[in-house]
Structure 1
């Protein structure tokens, strides 16, 4: 039993995730709502729905990524998980995909002026993450070959 639950809430981790993150998210929502209201013909309700859909689509992408990374790692390492693990990863991936598609469909029903700013923010955030990932992976491979650190089977990641 926790002797002092307030020390957990107001500790360094609790303050960041329990207090600061919600405030930052509310401020970002307000900032995006103000930026979207500058678009001609945008409605506040439609813009808020578009922001909600954008956040839920990002969570769907995150769930799909969380499920895909262990699967790819096990394939590259030549190790396999138990079938129940693969089933769990498949369920997480399918949940993320359904969440993404459902909110993407809902977002497409909104008027274009309301969804303009949230969809642009989502698009360029995903593009930035993808570009950085590709750039860093390419640099890692090139530096591995250039500096002579590559040995036979270097692509196999040990799981132990």
Structure 2
């Protein structure tokens, strides 16, 4: 249980849960036909993935790939799609929703043409966990660049 939950009043808890449900519904609607209807809870997230995410935020971790942050959106989309393909992540993939009740939403990604929809649905960083839960790719914006971090079991 989140330590904040033990300190919040019942009214605040209800309000937080209402906001989280609304945020999750908005993300799911924006993903549209990409969604399969399944997902992972925080408890189902592999431990190695959480460690890889934390490692990616370290200033001592070099990204696997960089793209200038002034690249046009269509170039960013193609770059994200190419990084996933390069790392063997495709088909049924978990996309980080950044919403506590369902932090990972399963999406069926076609070979191309999906990145714009994902970027519009979830805020950056964009994180993708492979269906078999053995590979992770994170794309985030840093100063002057988009960074790609990849990890696997």
TM-score normalised to structure 1 length: 0.29
| Structure with the higher fraction of residues in helix conformation | 1
Give the greater-gyration-radius structure (CA).
1
* TM-score, normalised with respect to structure 2: 0.30
Question: Which is richer in strand?
Answer: 2
